Amino acid sequence: MSSDPRQRIAARAAQELRPGEIVNLGIGIPNLIPGLLAPAAGVFIHTENGLLGVGPRPRDEELDPDLIDAAKRPVTALLGASYFDSADSFAMIRGGHIDVAVLGALQVSALGDIANWAVPGKDVLGVGGAMDLVVGARRVIVTMTATASNGEPKVVPECTYPLTARAAVDVIVTELSVFRLRGGALCLTELLDGVTLDQVRQATSAPFRVELEA
Amino acid sequence: MSSDPRQRIAARAAQELRPGEIVNLGIGIPNLIPGLLAPAAGVFIHTENGLLGVGPRPRDEELDPDLIDAAKRPVTALLGASYFDSADSFAMIRGGHIDVAVLGALQVSALGDIANWAVPGKDVLGVGGAMDLVVGARRVIVTMTATASNGEPKVVPECTYPLTARAAVDVIVTELSVFRLRGGALCLTELLDGVTLDQVRQATSAPFRVELEA
Amino acid sequence: MTAGGAVSAAEAVALIRTGDTVMVGGFGLVGAPLTLIDALVEESDATDLTIVSNNIGEPGKGLGKLLRQGRIRCGIASFFTSNPEAVAAVNAGQLEAKLLPQGTFAEAIRAGGAGIGGFYVPVGAGTLLAEGKETRLIDDVPHVLEWPLRADVALVYAARADELGNLWYRRTARNFNPLMATAAAITIAEAGEILPVGGLEAESVMTPHLYVDRLVARREQ
Amino acid sequence: MTAGGAVSAAEAVALIRTGDTVMVGGFGLVGAPLTLIDALVEESDATDLTIVSNNIGEPGKGLGKLLRQGRIRCGIASFFTSNPEAVAAVNAGQLEAKLLPQGTFAEAIRAGGAGIGGFYVPVGAGTLLAEGKETRLIDDVPHVLEWPLRADVALVYAARADELGNLWYRRTARNFNPLMATAAAITIAEAGEILPVGGLEAESVMTPHLYVDRLVARREQ
């Protein structure tokens, strides 16, 4: 397993995806996932600026100025892909037709509330599709480091940052562990290789149940 | 001028259409209009089942089971035509993008209220696009005979039949005359060839102003 | 979801259960999924159905067959009158009818697929069709609050599909089909032609495959 | 309306008046009508504009040029942050900012074009972006009432047009363009290629010509 926490997180999150699923990937760690998926993973990637069937990054000779993802990076489109306008794209999202959204967060609460678009005291001038995705996707997987750069835990009793949505998160993958929201309760279900329960307790300020799976 | 009142009405209504306008034609008299328009009239015909650019009735060898108008009759499509789904079609209508709707009516009131979908005491089981069209089109032209088959006037002080919409009508063309709604008031603006004012008064129970144009 | 190749019409309509709400595409019979309707008529026992379709077929044709079997409890439509037998069934108390203006009907289905909780339209305000509905003045114009329509199963027809379930509709056979494909828990698409993946130009796909759960080849009518 | 052949960019943007609300297509610069934006920057004096666009360009690019000229009074967008100069202008009190979730932003423009008076979405409920907005429980889920967005003028970009003004968008350059084309009193379309009438397949038309008032040929960027 990679020693880069971001790669570890992306690799573990990739295992949550099932063949045939429609998946929207946020900016940052989630965007590492395509590189980690086996070609046979059978996952279809949706990007909210209007494409289902995102392919790998283009080689230089494949670059197309009309073909980008929501991070505004050049992409390719797979065979069987389709394009649509932004109203139709968000109809897919809001209407519950995206199986999984994988995205980053600043904080997730013990109730699955998520804050991932704004920092208190700074201007709230960019939200993009974050709110639509966490409300609309059937499963929301958060990928983030367990703690912020200042050491503060990100899995918290209650979000102190501006909320993106309440009770929206299903799974949290950090470089230490996997949490799942079960019946509204936060459960630790997996320690990543070499991680101890104590390490997770130290990095987590939210109360959680321990329900480790074999 | 034709002695068939329906043809007279359609021919007069056709003169209301201006080059470049987007026109939706209802079932019945309005459907006679395409046959009366000069090819250079430059009018684009919209049908609410999903086509802009309706052409003439097909010759036998042109018949296409996938190409009908809202009356479910076979049509053709002109060069430059486009197809769209029913939500998009009614977005055009409701959103004010159709310049003119020409449709029949059972009654029109002195205030421009229109009743054209249901007869009192009978089941109200078919409305189709009538309500959307009279509310959404920028100009609503009613084509109808001045009186019902029992002789009752159709331009009435107040509608007694179930309403399609209030204050929606702009022009009424009958085989006798043309009425226009001006500032919410019903005005007789034209007598058709050979018709007298008395004939119109006899066939009309609504009060109206006489503002005949040269 | 994604279709992943074609199944038989019988297998597909077996997903419809008694009591279900079923959307059926088509404007009259044009664009109606006639193979799927026939399979529902001939090979399914599901009854007590609520049908969401612009018309309830024609006498003995399309949904008119299902009506004759007495398996439709309720119809949600804009124009029942194109099938006099549907009108008769309503009068006889055998069919419950919910009538909507055609544009509101289309928009409600779109809203159902798009996760819109409700929407205001000026259409129908002050008429019989707004009775019992909430209204609200917006910019001094009376508007009616309308609710989204959703279904357990949608049956749609497309001239072309690819094996993933991407759909392309031909001419005026498009009508309500793309909307209904978005608004049901299970969407079954009948296709005139099923192409290999890549057989449809990516810009031309009208219903992306994520909306299509089962794909059935049209039987020559 | 219908375009009826191409006009110059300067002639087209002369329709924009001081104080107007202008919608501008594009996701970042992709799909943005760059020729029209340049004409607005260079050949128009209209100022005090409200711009409805997902982003307010990038520094010195696209709408970023107009921003540097101080001609934007208000921005309605989902992501101002892609242009740090827009953020700075907001902080300096020179630009009023109205932020919407991207899907709500798109839906509000569609609603503006489609004659929808208002609509409820679950998105944003309980967050800063719902403050001061009417909310309502629908099926026990909090929903926010959102209003349609309309404009005086829309500037859109399409890879292909025909001379009537029918439009076809390429790949992810489609984004907000087809929506904005429906939601303005005057729609000006910039096209990469202008074909004779009949040059677009009727099923492939994404914006029918009734939405397009003026057509302008894209200048090579």
Chain segment A42-74, per-residue pLDDT in tens = 999 999 999 999 999 999 999 999 999 999 999
Instruction: Output the CA–CA distances (angstroms, integers) from residue D138 to B163, C149, C155, in the order listed.
Output: 30, 14, 27
Percent of chain B with pLDDT over 90: 91
Assess A81–C contact: CB distance below 8 Å, yes or no.
Answer: yes
Assess B112–C contact: CB distance below 8 Å, yes or no.
Answer: no
Q: What is the pLDDT of residues D103-152, one digit of tens each?
A: 999 999 999 999 999 999 999 999 999 999 999 999 999 999 999 999 99
In a domain? residue C153: yes
Q: How far apart are CA A183 and CA A205, in angstroms?
A: 20
pLDDT at position D220: 82
Dig out the tokens for D159 from the structure: 């890879």
Contact D181, D154 (CB under 8 A): yes
Assess B72–C contact: CB distance below 8 Å, yes or no.
Answer: yes
- Min Cα separation D44/chain A (Å): 28
Q: How far apart are CA D217 and CA D205, in angstroms?
A: 18
Q: Would you please indicate which residues of A are annotated as catalytic (active-site) residues?
A: 48
- Which of B77, B82, B136 shows the shortest C-beta gap to D115? B136
- Min Cα separation D1/chain A (Å): 22
Is the pLDDT assigned to residue B1 strictly greater than 70? no
Region D87-104 average pLDDT:
97
- What's the alpha-carbon Rg for chain B, to the nearest Å? 17
Q: Which residues of A touch D109 (CB under 8 A)?
A: 87
Q: Which residues of C touch A44 (CB under 8 A)?
A: 2, 209-210
Q: How far apart are CA D161 and CA B95, in angstroms?
A: 23
* pLDDT band with cut points at 50, 70 and 90 for residue C46: very high
Query: What CATH number does the domain containing C167 carry?
Result: 3.40.1080.10
Instruction: Output the CA–CA distances (angstroms, integers) from residue D188 to C24, D52, D153, D215, in the order listed.
Output: 38, 15, 7, 6
- Min Cα separation C86/chain A (Å): 32
Is the pLDDT assigned to residue A179 strictly greater than 90? yes
Is the pLDDT assigned to residue C4 strictly greater than 70? no
Contact C107, D116 (CB under 8 A): yes
Q: Would you please indicate which residues of B are annotated as catalytic (active-site) residues?
A: 48
pLDDT at position D167: 98
Q: Which domain holds residue C211?
A: 9-217
State the DSSP H helix or E strand holding residue C76, giving kind and residue range, or none if neither.
Answer: strand C72-77
Q: What is the pLDDT of residues C124-183, one digit of tens each?
A: 999 999 999 999 999 999 999 999 999 999 999 999 999 999 999 999 999 999 999 999
State the DSSP H helix or E strand holding residue C216, giving kind and residue range, or none if neither.
Answer: strand C214-217
* CA dihedral sign of residues C99, C100, C106, C107: negative
Q: Which single residue is written with the structure tokens 């209504």?
A: B13
* pLDDT band with cut points at 50, 70 and 90 for residue A94: very high
Q: What is the pLDDT of residues D40-61, one digit of tens each?
A: 999 999 999 999 999 999 999 9
In a domain? residue C147: yes
Q: Which single residue is written with the structure tokens 């839906």?
A: D107
Q: Which residues contact D58 (CB under 8 A, 6 or more apart)?
A: D28, D29, D64, D82, D83
Region B55-63 average pLDDT:
94
pLDDT at position D166: 98
* pLDDT band with cut points at 50, 70 and 90 for residue D1: low
Q: Which residues of B touch C125 (CB under 8 A)?
A: 165
Spell out the alpha helix ranges (H) of chain D.
Answer: 9-13, 34-43, 63-68, 84-91, 102-114, 177-182
CB atoms within 10 A of CB C107: 32
A136: nearest CA partner in chain D: D123
Q: Which residues contact A178 (CB under 8 A, 6 or more apart)?
A: A12, A171, A172, A188, A189, A190, A192
- Which of D1, D113, D203 shows the shortest C-beta gap to B91? D113
Q: Which residues of C touch B130 (CB under 8 A)?
A: 101
pLDDT at position B41: 80
Q: Under DSSP, is residue D68 helix (H, G, I), strand (E, B) or coil? A: helix
- Interface B-D: count of C-beta contacts within 8 A: 59
Q: Under DSSP, is residue C84 helix (H, G, I), strand (E, B) or coil? A: helix
In a domain? residue C200: yes
CATH of B5-210, one of 3.30.420.10, 3.30.160.270, 3.40.1080.10, 3.10.105.10: 3.40.1080.10
Is the pLDDT assigned to residue B60 strictly greater than 90? yes
Assess A35–C contact: CB distance below 8 Å, yes or no.
Answer: no
ipTM, two decimals, is 0.97
Q: Under DSSP, is residue B83 helix (H, G, I), strand (E, B) or coil? A: strand
The domain segmentation of chain B, as residue ranges, is 5-210
In a domain? residue D2: no
pLDDT at position D4: 65
Q: Do D166 and B22 touch (CB under 8 A)?
A: no
pLDDT at position D5: 75
Q: Do D115 and B98 touch (CB under 8 A)?
A: no
Q: Which residues of D touch A50 (CB under 8 A)?
A: 27, 172, 174-175
Q: Which residues contact D186 (CB under 8 A, 6 or more apart)?
A: D15, D152, D153, D154, D213, D214
pLDDT at position C2: 65
Average pLDDT, chain C: 96
Assess A14–D contact: CB distance below 8 Å, yes or no.
Answer: no
Dig out the tokens for B141 from the structure: 């032209």
When divided into structural domains, chain C yields a total of 1
Assess B79–D contact: CB distance below 8 Å, yes or no.
Answer: yes
Is the pLDDT assigned to residue C18 strictly greater than 80? yes
Q: Which residues contact B40 (CB under 8 A, 6 or more apart)?
A: none
Contact B195, B176 (CB under 8 A): yes
Q: Do A94 and C115 touch (CB under 8 A)?
A: yes
Is the pLDDT assigned to residue C108 strictly greater than 80? yes
Q: Which residues contact C49 (CB under 8 A, 6 or more apart)?
A: C16, C18, C19, C20, C21, C22, C66, C71, C72, C73, C74
In a domain? residue C2: no
Quick one: which of D143, D141, D154 has its CA closest to D51? D154
Is the pLDDT assigned to residue A162 strictly greater than 70? yes
- Min Cα separation D184/chain C (Å): 18
Q: Which residues of A touch C202 (CB under 8 A)?
A: 53, 77, 81-83
- Which of B22, B87, B90 shows the shortest C-beta gap to D210? B22
